[in-house]
Amino acid sequence: MKKIRLMTWSLLLVAGLLLIGCTPGGDEPAIPTLVGNTPIAVVQTPTVDSGDVVATVVPVETAVPQETAEPAVTANPPAPAPATEPAPAQPVVIVPTDVERVMALANLNVRLGPGLGFTVVDWLTEGETAVVTGISADGGWWRILCPEPSPGISCYVSAAGQFTQPVMADGAQPQRIEFAPGATSATVEVQIPANAQTWFVLWAAAEQTMSINVSAENNSVLFHLQGKQDGVDYKQMLDGNSFWQGKLPVSQDYLLTLDNLSSATTVIIDISIVNNLPTDTPGGPLHPIVDGSTGFLLGGWYDNRWVSAAEYVALISDAARPYIFYGLSGETGVITGQVPTIGGICNQPTVPMASLMPGSIGLVGRWNATPRLPQDVPVNTEVYRQVLAETLQGAGLANPTITIDRILRFDLEGDGVEEVLIVANHLTAGIGQPPAAAGDYAAVLLRKIIGSEVVTVPLYLDIYQEGGDLVFPLRYEALAVADLNGDGRLEIVIAADRYEGRQVAVIESYGATSQVMLQAGCHQ
C-alpha cells in the first residue's frame, strides 16, 4: 500500500511540475498556512490534461458554497483516479478550526481539492485518522495533511458526518464528570466556541441505565458517546438526536464528544445514571458492600453515613443487585448478589452469589470506586524495612525477623500527598494450624504526613512474645484501596484470615484519624 501511495504522489508531482513549469521559481503553488483567525480563500483550478490538478490561491472576501456529499465507498480502499467532472472554479474559503484530527468512519477518498471533481490521490481506511489544518467555511470539507506528506501540498476529505468524525488530539484530556455523593444525576454547563469541539468523560457501571440530554442555545451542537475500553460507539454524532438513553453492558469510562457546528454557544448537559433494580429508599440510594471471598455483608453507605450489616439487611431484602468488584488493580468483575441470608454459627449476614470473587470487595455504586490505583513498592525497600523494625521493637519485640508481604503507595484524599501501606506477616506455622510461635507478628502500618511530620500509624499490630498451641494468629492482606461511599476519598480494605475464620474491615484514615467504619467476619 505504501508503494502505491508513493508512486501516486510521484506521478502527481511530476505532472504538476510540467504543468507549472513557467511559474516563477518553478515551485508548485501551495495553500498558505492559516494565521490567527483570518479566513483564506482557495480557488481550485483543475487542469484536465492528463487528469492532474494544480491548486491556485486567490484572495477573496466571500465564500461560495460547495457540494459536500461524498459518494459511497467500497469495502476495499479506493484506487486513486482522475477527476471525471470539472471542479468548481469559485473560491472556497478555508477557516480555522479547533478540531485537530478527524477519523474516517469508512474507507474514504482523499482529494486534492474540496470538491468531488478533484483528483482522488489517496485514501483513509476506516478508523484511520488525519491531522486537520482547516475546514471549508460551509463545513463541507476538512483540509488535512496528506497521508503521504509532500511539502506544500494539502489534501481534503469530506466533512459529512457519515464519513468523518472529529477525534481528540493526541495528549488532549477530557474533563471528568463526577456525581455528588449519593446523587444519581449531574448537570454540566459549558461554553463552546464557534465550530469547536469539547470532550467529557464519566464512569458508569455495567447493568446501569444512562440518560444524556444535550441542549444548546444555537441548536447546533451534536454529541457522540463511546466506551473508552471497549471502543463501542453507543451514540453516533450523525443521528442528530439531542437525547440518548441506554443500558450499559460494560463498567468503564465513557467518552462524550460535543461538536458545535455554528456560532459560539452555551450548552447544558444533563446526565443521569440509575440502577435497573430497586435500590432507592426514602433515605437515598443504597450502596451495600460485600467481601468477594465469602459474600459476607459488611454493611454500606446510606443516608450520608456508614451503616452496619445488621441494619443493612433490612434495607436490601427487596431484590437482587449487581455488585461491582474491585481489587488493588481496579475493577475485577460484576456479579449479581441475591437477598442476604443470616445463619451459621456467627449469624453473619451473607449475600448469596452464583460465584465468588476472591481477593476483592464488592459494591453497588454509581461511581468509579478506584479513581486512583495503588502502586506497588519493592518489599526490600530499606526505609520501610527499617520502619517495620522500629515499630516492632517499640512494641516489645527485641529482635524481629523482618518479613514484608506488600508495600503500596497511594493518595487517599486526592490532595496530591501520597501515603504508604506496609503489610507484614511473620507467622512461623502459617494459618493452616493454630499455634503461634514466639517472635511471630502480623502488622498493617500506614505511613502518612500529619502536619509537617511523617508518622507511622499502626492499623493492626499483633505481636506474639510467646508461642502457644491455642493461639490462633491472624494473617493480614490488603484487598483494595477504594472509594466506597462516593466522596472522592479512598478507604483501605483489609482482610484477616486465621484458622477456620476470616474478617474484613473498611478503614478510613483522613488527617490524624484512622478508624474502622465497617467490619464483618466469622470464625470457629
Q: Where are the domains of the chain?
A: 2-167, 175-275, 288-363, 375-523
pLDDT value at residue 149: 58
C-alpha cell at 86: 470539472
**HSE of 470, CA atoms in CB hemisphere, 13 A:** 0
Beta strands in 364-452 (DSSP E): 375-377, 406-410, 419-426, 440-450
Q: How far apart are alpha carbons 407 and 421 in whole angstroms?
A: 6
Q: Which amino acid would we find at residue 487?
A: D
pTM, rounded to two decimals = 0.57
pLDDT value at residue 283: 64
Q: How far apart are alpha carbons 449 and 400 in whole angstroms?
A: 26
Q: How far apart are alpha carbons 207 and 250 in whole angstroms?
A: 8
pLDDT value at residue 67: 32
Query: Is the Cβ–Cβ distance between 101 and 168 less than 8 Å?
Result: yes
Query: Is the Cβ–Cβ distance between 338 and 353 less than 8 Å?
Result: yes
Q: How many CB atoms lie within 10 A of CB 463?
A: 16
Q: How far apart are alpha carbons 41 and 314 in whole angstroms?
A: 71
- Cα 437 from chain centroid? 48
pLDDT value at residue 83: 40
Tens-binned pLDDT, residue by residue, of the chain (524 aa): 333 444 344 444 444 433 333 322 332 223 222 223 333 344 343 333 323 223 333 222 222 223 334 444 444 544 444 444 444 456 678 888 767 788 888 889 999 889 888 888 888 888 788 888 888 888 889 999 887 656 557 899 998 877 887 776 665 678 889 887 667 788 999 999 988 888 898 888 887 889 899 999 998 898 988 887 777 878 887 777 888 988 888 888 888 989 888 899 999 999 988 776 555 565 678 899 999 999 999 999 988 899 999 999 988 888 888 898 999 998 888 888 999 999 778 889 999 998 899 999 999 987 889 989 999 999 999 999 999 999 999 999 999 999 999 999 999 998 889 999 999 999 988 876 678 889 999 999 999 998 889 999 999 999 998 877 778 889 999 999 999 998 889 999 999 999 889 999 999 998 888 999 999 999 77
**Element containing residue 42 per DSSP (H, E):** strand 40-46
Chain position carrying cell 492528463: 50
pLDDT value at residue 452: 87
Q: Which among 47, 44, 58 is positioned nearest to 21, based on CA atoms?
A: 47
Query: Is the Cβ–Cβ distance between 508 and 479 less than 8 Å?
Result: no
Q: How far apart are alpha carbons 463 and 481 in whole angstroms?
A: 25
pLDDT value at residue 242: 86
Phi-psi region of 386 (alpha: psi -120 to 50; beta: other; left: phi over 0): alpha
Class assignment of domain 175-275?
mainly beta
DSSP state of 353: B
Q: How many CB atoms lie within 10 A of CB 381?
A: 14
388-420: burial string, b at 16+ Cβ within 10 Å, e else? beebbeeeebeebeebbbbbbebbbbeeeeebb
Q: In angstroms, what is the C-alpha Rg of the chain?
A: 32
pLDDT value at residue 135: 87
